[in-house]
Amino acid sequence: MGLRETFRNLRPGSPSRGKCSIELQRRNLHPNHNQVASANQLTVSPDQVTEQSLQVWRALPAEIRHDPSMASFQMENERIHGSTSGISQDNDEEDDDKDDDYSENIVDNVENETGVGRIQDDLGSSFAGSDFLDIKRKPSRADEKDTDDEATTTHSDHEPHHAPGNAKSMARRTHRKSKRSKEQLQKDKLWKRSGLLLFWLLAAVVLISVGEKHLLEKTLEVPQGEQGKHFNLKQKPTGDFRLKIHGAFQELLARGLENDNETQTEGFLIVQPQVSTYLRENRTKVFRNILAPWQIPLLSEDQLESAPAVLRNRTYQMTPELMELLSVKDNEIRLHIYTDVAQDLAIILNYNPLIVNARIGSIVAGLILLTFYAVLVWELFERPFVAMVCSILSVTALACFNDRPNMEEIIQWMDMELLTLLFCMMLLILILTETGVFDYLAVFCFEISGGKIWPMIYTLCWVTCLVSSVLDNMTTVLLLTPVAIRLCEVMQLDPLPVVMGIIVHANIGGALTPIGDPISIIVSTNHFIVDNGVTFLTFVAHTLPGVILAVIQSCLYLRLFYHNIDALRLNEPKEILELRREIKVWQRAVNAIASCSKDAQLVRCTLDSKVKHLKRTLRRKQRGVGSTEVYTSTLDELKQKYPIKNRTLLWQSSGALAFVIICFFIQSVPHWRTLPLGWVALLGVILLLIILNRDDLEHLMHRIEWTTLLFFAAMFVMMECVERLGLFSCIGELTEHVILSVNERHRLAMAIFMILWTSALASSILDSIPVTAMMVKLVISLVAKESLGLPLQPLVWALTLGASLGGNGTLYGASANVIAAGIAEQHGYKLSFTRYLKTVFPMMLGQITLMTIYLMVAHIVFGWH
């Protein structure tokens, strides 16, 4: 049945024709609401109605004439002309024709505006969900016959393309289009498969032909005095080479110093590379210094034996002179290691004879990252597969530079502690899900938000921020993302905007305290930073204003970005669609009446009040639940539908979760930290499994998000390879160069600006954890140079806020982002890279701009530090 035929059949005819009848009735579900609405709509008393206004009223379509808002006109017409008099049969027939055209025009307009091209045949009324009309269609053989005749009518070639006569041509075009699309898909698959095979062939050839690099590692005893220890390097370096030394060193970055004595220390360990040459007279082999000495500050003599070993590393660049000397076959290279303290010293030396050139390696690393993000943006493959391919590509790149890592290094790069933490927390969440507690919490959030959309979203965001400040942000999204998704399903909303809000506020809240996320932990546990007065309270006091500003900005941004509330809905409810159609019908009736007389103006004002009432109803329903009665009935229904399913299991799993969270708090105290967080979570899971004594462990294992864990492992390997290729060091050197190029008066402002924006932008593209580890070293090296006169704390806050908020920039900027996206995808909602980028990246830029203003005002204008 066509759309226009549906409206003809639903159109109320005159009583004499007997095709359909109109019943004016109130909604049974909400009588109080309808009575109030009807009372408000009686804006015209029967005394004001004149014969001229009745003539205008009789010209209106029947649907509008019989609406309760026009009751005054109906009553006055019945009083003067009787119940059926005053409207002749001729007028009825004219109205029928008029209603036909009117309905057709209205439907066409509403279709164009709402995108709805069809009204279901089983609609029970002309305005489904309306408080006013319920039109019941009476079956009619004539109607059925007319419909059949219309359906079998032959149409000419001049009719529109959507007419039934063009069905065969449409089918042929659709078939050709689908055939072309299938051919294109086959070509795309062939290209992708060919590209992957070429990549596999390249990786296989390189990895098979290039062996693993086994680095030289020796434990040496350095005697006191300038004679020291001479250590021969049997393998000559063929390019830039690196030395790593573990020893009792100060908590400062090692620096190659010749005349720089800024650091006050009691002694140094000096490492001097030397190359042998032969005197022409008697071919005597002598060693001469060819590179600058490496001076590493030592601890005081009474701490040398008891202090823990600290790692220091130095990269030596290959000079043309050194390359020429080493090209001689008989020439050798050795290290002269000595100290200026009055006792022997034990060290561990690690020698890497070839590292990747920083400039070339940075270019290769940039190309790998560009490939990684390009494939993710185009969504050519699944995320775990892309991460695996790019990690193998990065290892292959290292192998091309004869720097192929061994399997022990790759396993170490995967960060098994973090993967263990995620695995155990996923298992705890799965067991908690079986209790129905997340559905129950979703109903609770629906209750406290009053069924309104924005109060619910803001509540979830604020709770996420608070929880993330005391728990790490990964655990926070593991706990709250299922609640948010279930709540959105209850309210018929798209969960992805809410999930993005949770991601953003989890990273914001993580910057508030030293235990909020891995970034804060890396910064706050650094010994040099702790020794310079950065305590728990100091950390919170300086980050709190920034966090508050970021939360306010993010909430305002989300409200403006989703100013059209329909963008938050999965599908617009049928009730709202019908309400839009009804507003269109009444607005069309208002526009059809010219306000040229007082009587016509009376009818027009009545129709205007009706339109305003419908628009208020529409806005109220768009904001959430339409009325108190609907909210109460919906809440009661949800409470009955989603109770706690298993209270015993809830208490058991909650006890295990409480044990894990309490241990997290204990382990966050530096002096009480004895167990990694992964082990804490593992102990909690084992405790819960022992208590439950379950036999379906295999079933639980199948529900673990293994793809998310695999993506993390592969991405960690890729990021470590990118760092080894030299990209991070280039970013650090560039940042330091820009800061040092500014005069001393503006150096602090430039340092805050560069560290904040560099860490933010790098964290949005790279993983925020290795970026933070690299930037901490840069901050300490800048502060350690007393000639620069840079204070520590402003740079620490710039790094913390920049890396934490910068992780919001892309979907892979922080670990919490990937976890939340994985949970959403497990529930059937895929969060694409491009959608996240378009929504959140501008928000991140606004937050970093706010942080720049805050830090400049606090530390440049007022000198808070």
What are 754-792's pLDDT values in tens digits? 999 999 998 998 878 878 877 887 888 788 777 777 888
Q: In the chain, what's the furthest Cα-to-Cα distance?
A: 138
Q: Looking at beta carbons, which pairs linking 75-83 to residues 24 or more positions away fall under 8 Å?
A: 75/46, 76/46, 76/49, 79/46, 80/51, 80/54
What sign does the CA torsion over 486, 488, 489, 495 have? negative
Going by C-alpha positions, the residue among 262, 333, 329 that lies closest to residue 295 is: 262
CA atoms within 13 A on the CB side of 411: 3
- Is the pLDDT score of 140 beyond 50? no
CB-based contacts of 585: which residues, under 8 Å, 6+ apart?
61, 63, 64, 106, 127
Higher pLDDT: 582 or 204? It is: 204
How far apart are alpha carbons 732 and 776 in whole angstroms?
10
Domain span at 237: 216-355
Q: Is residue 821 part of a domain?
A: no
Question: 474 and 430 in contact (C-beta within 8 Å)?
Answer: no
List the single range of 47-51, 335-339, 400-404 with lowest mean pLDDT. Answer: 47-51
Same domain, 685 and 547: yes
Burial class (CB in 10 A: 0-12, 13-18, 19+), 62: buried
Q: Averaged over 45-71, what is the pLDDT?
A: 78
Torsion angle, alpha carbons of 647, 651, 656, 659, to 10: 150
Q: pLDDT digits over 146-171, tens only? A: 433 333 333 333 344 444 444 555 55
How far apart are alpha carbons 286 and 443 in whole angstroms?
82
Going by C-alpha positions, the residue among 707, 767, 705 that lies closest to residue 385 is: 707
Same domain, 607 and 556: no
What sign does the CA torsion over 154, 160, 164, 165 have? positive
Tokens of 95: 């109205």
- Is the pLDDT score of 484 beyond 60? yes
How far does Cα 12 stand from its chain's mean position? 52
Q: Is residue 759 part of a domain?
A: no
Q: Is residue 197 part of a domain?
A: no
List the single range of 373-377, 418-422, 592-596, 673-677 with lowest mean pLDDT. Answer: 592-596
List the single range of 240-254, 509-523, 734-748 with lowest mean pLDDT. Answer: 240-254
At CA 329, angle to CA 327 and CA 332, rounded to 5? 85
Higher pLDDT: 253 or 650? It is: 650
Please name the amino acid found at residue 232: N
Q: Is residue 657 part of a domain?
A: yes
Domain count, the chain: 3
Question: 54 and 72 in contact (C-beta within 8 Å)?
Answer: no
How far apart are alpha carbons 204 and 168 in whole angstroms?
53
Torsion angle, alpha carbons of 456, 461, 467, 473, to 10: 140
How far apart are alpha carbons 488 and 497 in whole angstroms?
10
Burial class (CB in 10 A: 0-12, 13-18, 19+), 717: buried
- Is the pLDDT score of 24 beyond 90? no
280: domain CATH number?
A: 2.60.120
Q: Measuring CA to CA, how many Å separate 364 from each of 395, 422, 509, 723?
A: 12, 31, 35, 11
Q: What is the mean pLDDT of the chain?
A: 77
Q: Measuring CA to CA, how many Å separate 574 from each of 23, 349, 701, 767, 772?
A: 22, 73, 40, 44, 50
Q: pLDDT digits over 704-761, tens only? A: 889 888 988 998 899 889 888 888 888 888 888 888 888 888 889 999 999 999 999 9
How far apart are alpha carbons 380 and 192 in whole angstroms?
8
At CA 350, angle to CA 346 and CA 353, rounded to 5? 145
Same domain, 100 and 137: yes
3-class DSSP state of 779:
helix
Q: Measuring CA to CA, how many Å separate 562 from each of 497, 501, 733, 747?
A: 9, 12, 41, 40
Given this model, what pLDDT does residue 36 score? 39
Q: Is residue 365 part of a domain?
A: no
Q: pLDDT digits over 160-203, tens only? A: 444 444 455 555 555 555 666 778 888 888 998 999 999 999 99
Q: Is residue 711 part of a domain?
A: no
* Total-model pTM: 0.67
Under the banding of pLDDT at 50, 70 and 90, the label for residue 423 is very high
Q: Is residue 430 part of a domain?
A: yes
Among 584, 605, 623, the domain boundary falls at 623
- The owner of tokens 């208490």 is 651
Higher pLDDT: 534 or 853? It is: 853
How far apart are alpha carbons 455 and 458 in whole angstroms?
5
- Which strand (E) or helix (H) includes residue 70? none
Among 680, 706, 732, the domain boundary falls at 706
Question: 817 and 475 in contact (C-beta within 8 Å)?
Answer: no
Q: pLDDT digits over 94-111, tens only? A: 554 444 454 445 444 544
Same domain, 326 and 467: no
Q: Is residue 552 part of a domain?
A: yes
Instruction: Please state at what angle helix 3-10 crosses helix 89-114, rounded to 10 degrees.
Output: 140
Same domain, 559 and 598: no
Tokens of 100: 């036909």
Please name the amino acid found at residue 608: D
Same domain, 662 and 613: no
Question: 624 and 493 in contact (C-beta within 8 Å)?
Answer: no
Given this model, what pLDDT does residue 627 score? 55
Same domain, 296 and 247: yes
How far does Cα 431 stand from its chain's mean position? 25
- Give 407-442 as a 3 state SS string: HHHHHHHCCHHHHHHHHHHHHHHHHHHCCCHHHHHH
User: Which of 77-86, 129-138, 516-525, 572-581 shows the highest mean pLDDT?
Assistant: 516-525
- Per DSSP, what are the bridge partners of residue 22? 135
How far apart are alpha carbons 402 and 589 in whole angstroms?
81
Same domain, 602 and 539: no
Tokens of 551: 């939360």
Q: Looking at beta carbons, which pairs linking 688-694 to residues 24 or more positions away fall under 8 Å?
A: 688/428, 688/431, 688/652, 688/653, 688/656, 691/652, 691/656, 692/431, 692/649, 692/652
Burial class (CB in 10 A: 0-12, 13-18, 19+), 326: middle
DSSP letters spanning 245-279? EEESB-SS--B--SS---S--S-EEEEEEEEEEE-
Same domain, 474 and 564: yes
How far apart are alpha carbons 19 and 669 in whole angstroms?
81
Burial class (CB in 10 A: 0-12, 13-18, 19+), 552: exposed
CB-based contacts of 530: which residues, under 8 Å, 6+ apart?
524, 670
- Per DSSP, what are the bridge partners of residue 336? 230, 272
How far apart are alpha carbons 115 and 382 in whole angstroms?
32
Torsion angle, alpha carbons of 446, 448, 452, 456, to 10: -80
Going by C-alpha positions, the residue among 241, 232, 243 that lies closest to residue 332 is: 232
Under the banding of pLDDT at 50, 70 and 90, the label for residue 261 is very low
- Is the pLDDT score of 89 beyond 80? no
Same domain, 12 and 131: yes
How far apart are alpha carbons 364 and 532 in whole angstroms?
38
Question: 708 and 409 in contact (C-beta within 8 Å)?
Answer: no
Instruction: Please state at what angle helix 747-765 crosses helix 768-784, rounded to 10 degrees.
Output: 160
How far apart are alpha carbons 264 and 266 in whole angstroms?
7
Same domain, 617 and 683: no
Among 684, 706, 728, the domain boundary falls at 706
Same domain, 320 and 432: no
